[in-house]
Structure 1
């Protein structure tokens, strides 16, 4: 039972005289004091039966009772670790030795009969105060322990762990029969969520974490808050173990679907989840993590994607690799892409495309093979630079491959994509921007109000768009999109202070067609809406 959001303490009254039990219940307003009477027993033996079936926080028991008296009850409970409840002893006579023994046995107090209301109130108020104080300390201790566990888990998830991290996590996280990483986030495809302010989005992210903890109950240690650390990613991580699905009698996919459905309903916004492969130890968890992120990236390339996606293990999925000859053909194509052999790329890309589009492959198999190819291409990029932003690469793939009018890409389009991606890998190996970033930044400063994009700048400066996104992230510590927004917002702030233009005019002048989006971005940078910013800073001569 709850009162004002605070759980009431459960009381068990043990006395062989019914009128004493009845009188105790009526003597005070138990709920007003933070308690409720959860059970009654006529002697110690009956009390033990109740204690085996229910939990109590406070036991008020008479000392002198038939069969099993109060002192025997206390000894039994303590010796058998039956309950952690506090005791209050009732007695018709005062005996110092009894009181001393009672305190040593763990009783919090000793009350004489006939019971006085003031004495009872003093006793139970002291107990409830101590109980809440201890509960607060316990809650804080658990929070510190969870934060410490999360630090070790993050090191393992990111693949930057040592033996101390492994030992600590293995002792606290269930991992028998394998584990897998599940990336779970609030979807940026949900327009209701996108229009929220940054603070509101983060609040919903915290709500997602809390509801997941509530749903997974005994597996709350398996949940980590905010893994990605991206500006626009509102995620949690779940360390999945097979027991989670087994205990519900569901398959892995059914369990994941149900979890995401319940989370979406409770949070009120669309939730998506991407699951990596099962691995046999924490040493390999980072691989499952990377696979989950690759699946996350693929989602934005595929149309009508559902809320959950799982990584299909390529060695066992017949639709991904249908024959040894097909696998050989794919490996050869990947090799010439990696070494940037343009002549062989053209020939092998054409042959590979014709193979996957042949009548021998059903549409589902074609889709699986294309997704597997993208996974392998993304892996080539990761091998060149472990810090690459997969989202930038998939954005490039999305713009390059998935822009035709038909359902399938034509042979020439596919061939061109493979050639360009090979050039991108070559640029990654060179790992040099050759001063191009300075030129591009100057361009942005001059033309921030125009319809600027990574694609338009990459075409203008003859540089691969995915690679341009990577060097922006490395050199400036933010994505191209964030950099452009910061430039535009800063220019908007100057106009707010040094011009009489209306807010919607300023939004258009700096490149924003959507006024609400402009307000949200401005708030993220300056912590105020444009209107409040102008009002508060009219006396300032320059923008900081």
Structure 2
């Protein structure tokens, strides 16, 4: 599907054109509209359409100025169709000079417009076919083989000649990595489509100056092997070149792009060495977090750390998670990621540290009889290193996981405590006639007596002893009403060893003695 934007200061003219032409049937998708040339220029930079249909006379910037501006600038150069209510020959002359594909007068004839769109589509497909045919693509496994040192010089030179690599030319391998694309099948499909566009965009940006060979490395990474011709002897020149490539990319994805520059070298051997050193530069992506362009020349004197994070920091983070102490959790995570940067952690060490954190949380979840698979963010945490991620992207993921884990642990603990206190209440109601105290019952349920007392009061709004007394007195009243048991016998039945104490407690609750209570029943008619 070819993409197209419409530019006309008359909204009804744009909407009419939208309704007039069967765009999808012709293989086009309208991806934007603009009121004037200045707005259209921004859309062209942002959306990179294949075709622009524009009026001539518009405020701010007219159609011809828009076309000439686009033609003079580097980057995307869409095909143009001019629509105009003016048949002045000078407009047609300028349109031809600017390389406009068609000049169509208003009111627009549907058949004429469809013929123009079909011609442009055929032209675009022909250009794309020629571009694909001229583009040389290397194979990443082949470059791995070259850089492994397991290929003899004769075989290396023969393979290089097949790709047009000249012994006297300088080559530099540049790896371009798009980070933080996410996970899942839909994300993969989107990433594949976008990476195809990226490769074409970077190739087109290089092609006018030098030959570039493109090769895939993964879903989100590809390589450029670029030739500068004669040796430059300057790493800065290649870094500058990579910086220009970065600024060629769309602004919305630029922050997540990382470009790694290998050591430039001559001929096939130089290609192999440049590829190897570009991959080595990738290892510094976390140590130099925030840098969009990382060159081997920059990192060759740097040392990476291969170690685990401080055990004390990990233990503190787990404690804060169990306590659901959000400020302390965030401070510990900040400290963890600062350590990655300051101590130049290698990717393997970052992965090991993150895995340690994930395992720590899942262990706590299991200990409180939870299920770690209930954590929605666990799946992403288990596969985050399968696709490129910036350190800030990894941090966002671990923060989300820690926050979800802490909330889950807190909720599970509350539910477990709620279940336990309900069992305590049932036990009291069943065993109230036995010798019972807060201390004895806390031993039965393996709970701290102070914590049990606080939890009981919070849950049921009464202190343990008051609740037990209420249960016993109510049962005593029932026995006094329904039986001829003596007071001391009733006291024994409801859990009082001392009859006098029973009488005192009964009177405290009912404001009369057990005997008075029973006699009051006899006086009622």
Greater gyration radius: 2
Determine if the TM-score, normalized by the shorter chain, exceeds 0.5: no
TM superposition score category, shorter chain reference? 0.3 to 0.5
TM-score of the superposed pair, with normalisation by structure 2: 0.32
